[in-house]
Amino acid sequence: MSGNKKIDGKQNHQDIRNKEGIRRITVSPVTRSSGQLTVQVALYQGRVVDARVLGGVYRGYESILVGRNLLDAVYITQRICGICSAAHGMVSSLLLDRIYANKITDNGRIIRNLILGAEFLQNHIRHFYILGLPDYVEGPPAYPFWHRSGSDYRFSLAQTSQLLNHYHKSVEVSRMCHDMATLWGGKMPHPHGIVPGGVTVNPRTDILNKFAALLAQVRKFIEYCLLKDTKLLADTYADYYHIGHGPGNFLSYGAFPYGHLPGEAYFPAGVVVGGERQTLDTSKITETHDFSWFEEDQPAGDLLARPEQPDPFKQEAYSWVETPRYGGEAMEVGPLARAVVRGETLQSSTMDRIVARSIETGWIGELMSQWLDQFQLGQPVYQPPDLPVKPRDIGLSEVPRGGLLHGVEVEGDRIKSYKIITPSEWNYSPRDQQGQRGVVEQSLIGIQIQDAENPIEVGRVVRSFDPCLYCATHLIEI
């Protein structure tokens, strides 16, 4: 938590009724999420008719990077998030590879995929059990379930016991995923193993054996616990296939390359707008701040203009989250969006997101086992960068929560401007100039709240996107 006020983990609900019969509810903080997240909804006859999602903290990493050496970006940007730090290191390295025109070796590409894959597994397992499952499972009156504020628990005693057992087991399995990434990255979070030009650790036999052994245990947990528990959840709460529909637009940057040519990746890049599949066109990505606490002083359409200047007293603004759009459309990102872009589904709901994340976890684990057989022992993993050959560019990749973009403009070897658009900016953005709500705001419209004093439906919908508003601990008050 951040700041001086202690928060006991129990959601604080503030109600305001007006003369038109609209009841306004504020859920703050949204617990079991990363960062300071607040959700405001307006109810009419128990149904959500308006919603606002508020990101309550200013980080300023884009401003911090100005004037720094270009190579510092890989390490500084990883501090954005203590959960998916390798994701930022990966995308920053991909960006610098384009600036320096680096060619990554096959071994370097495989190790990068394994580090990022381990982070995917850790994030998805942790989200299902630690962050999401307590919305549906009644835990014992003990830590970490001490402040139970939920309801609508449907599992039998035997099912509850099984799920709680797997909940505790998931902590150990998540640690194994970090152990896997540490073998290549040196440490987790904030690994040092991903650098512009490749990676820093060669594929030795002892590392490969340790990695394979850990991966086998993680995959066993995915197969016998995660996937079965996900099916049990989906069958028991099948009504959540009809709750939390997003705008129906999906974006994926692609991830896990298997070759050196654009588009050669296990996760393809693409967009789906209104049910129509399209080729990804990064020139259509914009970012504005009409309802964000930033000055609106950037050239239209220029992602790499100078860093945004904060304006905490801006009229009509209600969030520190910025507003990215693709061709003017709000786009959902994440595991479900990747499944839609791959052509596996066109459905969008709370339960679809949960199921897509677990299915993706199993698939990534299988791919990682295949990648271990592709190493060429004795071949290089790193090509040192020379001099920058481009003054500006962007780097893109899918990461656990969705599409991540880094962009830079350089002067010599110094950063003139740096741009970061995270997955949670796509999903948790406020309204835009046209009044179009962000993805999560749209997903809340129309849901029926059974108990306005305890709006569990809001938390279930919001957490299905795996929120991360800043993904780091700045201050712990003891």
Give the pLDDT confidence of 164-175 residue by residue, as tens digits. 999 999 999 999
pLDDT of 3 higher than 60: no
Average pLDDT over every residue of 20-30: 90
> Which pLDDT belongs to residue 422?
95
Distance in angstroms (rounded) separating the CA atoms of residues 86 and 181? 9
pLDDT band at 276 (very low <50, low <70, confident <90, very high): very high
pLDDT band at 130 (very low <50, low <70, confident <90, very high): very high
More confident residue, 368 or 300: 368
What's the pLDDT tens digit per position in 216-241? 999 999 999 999 999 999 999 999 99
Token output for 410: 């350089």
The residue whose two tokens read 């940007």 is 77
Taking the CA atoms of residue 423, residue 2, residue 321 and residue 443 in that order, the dihedral angle to the nearest 10 degrees is 70
Distance in angstroms (rounded) separating the CA atoms of residues 441 and 443? 5
More confident residue, 201 or 2: 201
Distance in angstroms (rounded) separating the CA atoms of residues 145 and 139? 6
More confident residue, 261 or 149: 261
> Which pLDDT belongs to residue 144?
72
pLDDT band at 297 (very low <50, low <70, confident <90, very high): low
Cis bond leading into 29, ω under 30°? Answer: yes
What's the pLDDT tens digit per position in 76-91? 999 988 888 999 999 9
Q: Which residues have a Cβ under 8 Å from the Cβ of 4 and sit 6 or more positions away?
A: 477
pLDDT band at 309 (very low <50, low <70, confident <90, very high): confident
pLDDT of 19 higher than 70: no
pLDDT band at 299 (very low <50, low <70, confident <90, very high): low
CATH tag for 60-437 (out of 3.40.50.620, 1.10.10.60, 3.40.50.1820, 1.10.645.10): 1.10.645.10
What's the pLDDT tens digit per position in 252-275? 999 999 988 878 999 999 999 999
182: number of Cβ within 10 Å: 16
For residues 307 and 68, the answer to whether their CB atoms sit within 8 Å is no
> Which pLDDT belongs to residue 6?
28
> Which pLDDT belongs to residue 56?
87
> Which pLDDT belongs to residue 15?
46
Distance in angstroms (rounded) separating the CA atoms of residues 471 and 81? 4
Distance in angstroms (rounded) separating the CA atoms of residues 442 and 39? 12
> Which pLDDT belongs to residue 18?
53
What's the pLDDT tens digit per position in 136-145? 999 888 877 7
Distance in angstroms (rounded) separating the CA atoms of residues 154 and 360? 26
What's the pLDDT tens digit per position in 382-422? 999 888 899 999 999 999 999 999 999 999 899 999 999 99
Distance in angstroms (rounded) separating the CA atoms of residues 128 and 114? 21
Distance in angstroms (rounded) separating the CA atoms of residues 149 and 30? 12
Distance in angstroms (rounded) separating the CA atoms of residues 76 and 180? 22
For 124, counting Cβ atoms within 10 Å of its Cβ (0-12 exposed, 13-18 middle, 19+ buried), the class is buried
> Which pLDDT belongs to residue 215?
98
> Which pLDDT belongs to residue 296?
73
Distance in angstroms (rounded) separating the CA atoms of residues 1 and 429? 21
What's the pLDDT tens digit per position in 416-473? 999 999 999 999 999 999 999 999 999 999 999 999 999 999 999 999 999 988 642 2
Kindly report the average pLDDT of the chain as a whole number: 90
pLDDT of 17 higher than 60: no
Percent of the chain scored above 70 by pLDDT? 92
What's the pLDDT tens digit per position in 47-106? 999 999 999 888 888 889 999 999 999 999 999 888 889 999 999 999 999 999 999 999
For 424, counting Cβ atoms within 10 Å of its Cβ (0-12 exposed, 13-18 middle, 19+ buried), the class is buried
> Which pLDDT belongs to residue 261?
80
Average pLDDT over every residue of 280-285: 96
Model pTM score: 0.92
Task: Identify the weakest region by mean pLDDT among 78-87, 98-107, 293-302, 334-343.
Answer: 293-302
**Residue among 154, 208, 183 nearest 456 (CA):** 154
> Which pLDDT belongs to residue 12?
41
Average pLDDT over every residue of 169-184: 97
Distance in angstroms (rounded) separating the CA atoms of residues 90 and 96? 10
